[in-house]
Chain A
C-alpha cells in the first residue's frame, strides 16, 4: 500500500511543511518585506501549471500515435488541472503585485505570457465542446494542443526580448533575492520542497480527475 501511495503522502508532508515553516523561516531584509513568503506559494502555481500543460502536450502526441482514448482523457484532464493552477497563479500574483508594484496588473512579459497561456487553453476547451463526435474531437483537439503548446513556448521565450525589462526578477544581470539561483539559503530549504509538493499535488488531482472522468463515461454508457 505504502509502495503505491508514498508520493501522495510525500506531497501532503511537503506542503504541510511549506505552509507552516514557510511563515516561520527567516527571510532576508528586502523592500518587499514579508510578502516575499508568497514565493513559496505563487511560484508553485506556475510550476504546477507548466508541468500539467507539458503532460497534456506529451499525451496529445501519444494520442496521435495510436489513437487510444485513454491518452486523450489524460490530455484534457491535465489541461483542466493546468488551468486551475494558472488561475490560482494569476490571483496569488495579483495580490502580491498589488503590494509590491502598486497595482494588481502591470504590463510585464511574465504576466502576459501567463495570461496568453490561459486564453490558449480556454480556447482549447471551447474547441473541444464544439466538436460532437468523440474520436474527431480527440484528434482535432490533440492537433490544436500540439500546435498551440509549441507556439506558446516560443511566445514565452521571446517575450522578455520584445518587452525589454521585466518587473519580475528575470534572467541576465538583474540580481534579485527572489531568483532561485540567488535565493537565500534559508529560503531554499522551503522553496524546493514546496515546488516538488505542488507538482505532486497537481499529479494527485490529475489522477483523481481521470478516475472521475472514467466513471462518468461508464455511467453514461
Chain B
C-alpha cells in the first residue's frame, strides 16, 4: 500500500512538472506534426499499406525517443538526491513508466489522427490496431524509460539514447508492425493472437527487468 501511495504522489508530481514546463510537451507535439508533414510531402503519389505502416511506427519510435529521453535529466541532480531519501527506487521507475505510458498514449493517438488526416486512413480492423497501439505504448514507454535511466548516467545523453534503444526496441517494434500491418490489410484477428501474446510477454519481461535493475542505477 505504501508503494501505491508513493506512486500516486510521484505520478502527480510528474504531471505537474510537465504542465509547468509546457514548452517541452508542446515541443514534442510540434515535432510529431512536422515529422508527419515532412513524410506527407516527401511521398508523392499513392502509399501502400505496408509503407503507411512502417512510416507510422518509425515516426512513433522517433517521437517516443524524443519524448522519453528527458525523463531523468529534466530535474536537477540535487532534487534526485532528495527523492532518494523519501521514496523507493521501484516507485520511481514505476511512476516514470506509468507517466510515459500516458504520454505515449496521447502521442500515439495524435500521431494516428495526423496520419489519417494527411496520409489517409487505411485501417480495416480498428480493434486490432488500437490493441497494437496500447501494447506498443506500454512497451515503448517501459523500454525507453529504462534506457533513459541508463543514458542519464552517461555523458552525451541524447545520441546515446538513440543508439542504446534502437536495437533493443526491435523485437517489440517488429512484432507491433506485424500486428498493425495485418490490421491494415485484413478484418480478421486470427493469426494475431500469438503475436499479441508475444507482445504481452515482451512487456512483462521489460517491466520486470526495469523493476529489478533500476535500483542499481539510481545511486552512485
Query: Which residues on A are within 8 Å of B, measured CB to CB?
Result: 64, 116, 119-120, 123, 126-127, 130-133, 135-136, 139-140, 142-144, 146-148, 150-152, 154-155, 158-159, 161-162
On whether the beta carbons of A132 and B153 are closer than 8 Å, the reply is no
Q: Which of B61-69, B129-137, B205-213 contacts A (4 or more CB under 8 A)?
A: B205-213
A132, closest chain B residue (CB) = B155
**Interchain CB contact (< 8 A) of A120 among B168, B174, B198, B202:** B168
On whether the beta carbons of A154 and B154 are closer than 8 Å, the reply is no
On whether the beta carbons of A142 and B153 are closer than 8 Å, the reply is no
On whether the beta carbons of A162 and B216 are closer than 8 Å, the reply is no
**B175 at interface by CB-CB < 8 Å:** yes
Q: Chain B nearest CB: distance from A40 CB in Å?
A: 30
On whether the beta carbons of B154 and A131 are closer than 8 Å, the reply is yes
Number of contacts between A and B (CB, 8 Å)?
A: 80
B168, closest chain A residue (CB) = A151
Chain A CB count within 10 A is highest, among B170, B194, B213, for B170
Q: Chain A nearest CB: distance from B143 CB in Å?
A: 8
Encode B150-162 as 1/0 by CB contact (under 8 A) with A.
Answer: 1101111000100
A154 to B209, CA, bound (A): 13
Q: Chain A nearest CB: distance from B84 CB in Å?
A: 15
Q: Which chain A positions have C-beta within 8 A of B195?
A: 162
On whether the beta carbons of B150 and A127 are closer than 8 Å, the reply is yes
A146 to B168, CA, bound (A): 11
Q: Chain B nearest CB: distance from A49 CB in Å?
A: 15
Given contacts A127-B150, A130-B160, A131-B155, contact A154 B205 (CB under 8 A): yes
Given contacts A142-B216, A158-B171, A162-B174, contact A136 B163 (CB under 8 A): no
On whether the beta carbons of B150 and A143 are closer than 8 Å, the reply is yes
Q: Chain A nearest CB: distance from B115 CB in Å?
A: 23
**Interchain CB contact (< 8 A) of B202 among A139, A154, A162:** A154
Q: Which chain B positions have C-beta within 8 A of A143?
A: 150, 213, 216-217
On whether the beta carbons of A123 and B217 are closer than 8 Å, the reply is no
**B167 at interface by CB-CB < 8 Å:** yes
On whether the beta carbons of B205 and A150 are closer than 8 Å, the reply is yes
A156 to B178, CA, bound (A): 16
A126 to B159, CA, bound (A): 11
On whether the beta carbons of A162 and B209 are closer than 8 Å, the reply is no
On whether the beta carbons of A139 and B164 are closer than 8 Å, the reply is no
A159 to B195, CA, bound (A): 11
**A-B residue pairs in contact (CB < 8 Å), sample of 6:** A143-B217, A148-B168, A151-B206, A152-B168, A155-B171, A158-B174
